[in-house]
């Protein structure tokens, strides 16, 4: 059976690095799956562990914290 499960990812990106990196991926037209939703934070350190749980609870399959 074909596995067409596409996980929905919630990403917390640091404004200063990972978010800028995601912008650069755009400028460079690097293509990636459209199943990611980004929330910008001023630092990846801002990400409360509770938010990760909230993310999974709200329907996401995975949570990424990048910074």
Point out which residues bind another protein (CB under 8 A): 5, 8, 10, 15, 19-20, 22-32, 34-35, 37-43, 45-49, 51, 54-55, 57-61
Strand blocks (E) in the chain? 9-14, 36-41, 62-66
Residue 15: CB minimum distance to another protein, A: 7
CB of 33 to another protein, least distance (A): 8
Beta strand 36-41 with 9-14 is parallel
Tell me the H-state helices in the chain. 18-27, 49-58
Nearest-approach distance from CB 7 to another protein, in angstroms: 9
């Amino acid at each position: 059976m074909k596995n067409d499960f596409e996980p929905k990812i919630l990403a917390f990106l640091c404004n200063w690095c990972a978010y800028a990196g995601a912008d650069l991926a755009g400028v460079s037209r690097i293509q990636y799956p459209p199943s990611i939703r980004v929330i910008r934070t001023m630092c990846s350190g801002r990400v409360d562990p509770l938010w990760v749980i909230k993310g999974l609870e709200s329907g996401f399959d995975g949570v990424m914290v990048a910074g």
